[in-house]
Chain A
Amino acid sequence: MKNRYYMITVIALTILSFVMAQDPPDLPGAPNQGPIGGMVWLAIGGVVLAVKKYHSQKTDK
């Protein structure tokens, strides 16, 4: 009899844990993601800088 109560309690608790289980709370929102953009402008800046320098060196000679 004692074993029976024990079994019922264990089963009830197990079932209860399934019923009461919840998903973890969500984040306040999807995280922001920050890739670095606009790098083509930097590359263009570098090309302009290099061309200008080589051009000025050439005219100095």
Chain B
Amino acid sequence: MLGFFIKAGVFYISWQIIYDLFLLPNGQLDHFLSVSVAILAKNLLSFLGWNINCAGRLLVIEGYRGVEVLNGCNALTLMALYSGFIIAFKGPLKQRIQYLSVGLLTIYLLNILRIMAFSLATVYFQQHWDTFHEFSPFIFFYPFVLYLWYQWTLVNEKKATPFMSGLFSA
């Protein structure tokens, strides 16, 4: 157990240093995640028939307030938190890589859905937007992340449930 905390601690400290010293000043990773999420959310909403415009990180359904995807909204920190647990908790390397790639990709896709939901919230319940925003990670991200973490601890015990074992054995 001590090993888990040491590995997790080293990972998060290293991540914070790398982020503060390199990724944040460089800005490209944050920019890519924010803008691509905004563009994909805009395209999906356009496909569903909404009259929506996108300018960089800003999404606006015509006639309603916009939604801006800031650095804190692009799920990069959540991706780091998710990865830290998978890396720190012992398990086989091959499956660790699978859990990391599937998890990170799914967090990215969930964030697109979340931003779409934020845009629609400006239309349907702007007055409750802040509340929706506050609880949105608990709806979109945290159950999924906790589920994958739990599955990862089961992989370590060789008791993966059919969903994940089926997913990765295919």
Cα(A27)–Cα(B129), bound, Å: 17
- CB of A6 within 8 A of chain B? no
Which residues does chain A contribute within 8 Å of B118, judged by CB atoms?
32, 34
Interface residues of A in 31-53 (CB under 8 A from B): 31-39, 41-43, 45-46, 49-51, 53
Q: Which residue of A lies closest to B68 (CB)?
A: A31
Question: Is the CB–CB distance between A46 and B149 below 8 Å?
Answer: yes
Q: Which residues of chain A have C-beta atoms less than 8 A from B58's C-beta?
A: 31
Proximity bits, B73-98, A CB within 8 Å = 1, else 0: 10101100100010011000000000
| Contact residues in B for A30 (Cβ distance below 8 Å) | 65
Interchain CB contact (< 8 A) of A53 among B81, B129, B153 = B153
Closest Cβ of chain A: how far from B96's Cβ, in Å?
15
The answer to whether B63 and A28 have CB atoms under 8 Å apart is yes
**Contact residues, A1-48 vs B (CB, 8 A):** 27-39, 41-43, 45-46
Minimal Cβ-Cβ distance residue in A for B71:
A35
CB proximity of A31 to chain B, nearest CB, Å? 4
User: Interface size of A by Cβ–Cβ distance < 8 Å?
Assistant: 25
CB-based contact B73/A54 at 8 Å: no
- Residues from chain B with a CB closer than 8 A to the CB of A27 are 60, 65-66
Question: What distance in Å separates the Cβ of B3 from its nearest Cβ neighbour in chain A?
Answer: 9
Q: Is the CB of A45 within 8 A of B73?
A: no
Contact, CB under 8 Å: B133 / A32: yes
B72 near A35 (CB under 8 angstroms)? yes
Closest Cβ of chain A to B95, distance in Å, is 16
Provided the pairs A38-B137, A45-B146 are in contact, do residues A57 and B78 lie with their beta carbons within 8 angstroms? Answer: no
Bound CA span A37–B114, Å = 13
Q: Which residues of B contact A (CB under 8 A)?
A: 1, 4, 58, 60, 63-70, 72-73, 75, 77-78, 81, 85, 88-89, 114-115, 118, 122, 129, 133-134, 136-138, 141-142, 145-146, 149-150, 153, 156-157
Q: List 8 A-B pairs, Cβ < 8 Å.
A: A34-B67, A34-B68, A34-B118, A34-B133, A42-B81, A42-B137, A42-B141, A53-B153
Interface residues of A (CB under 8 A from B): 27-39, 41-43, 45-46, 49-51, 53-55, 57
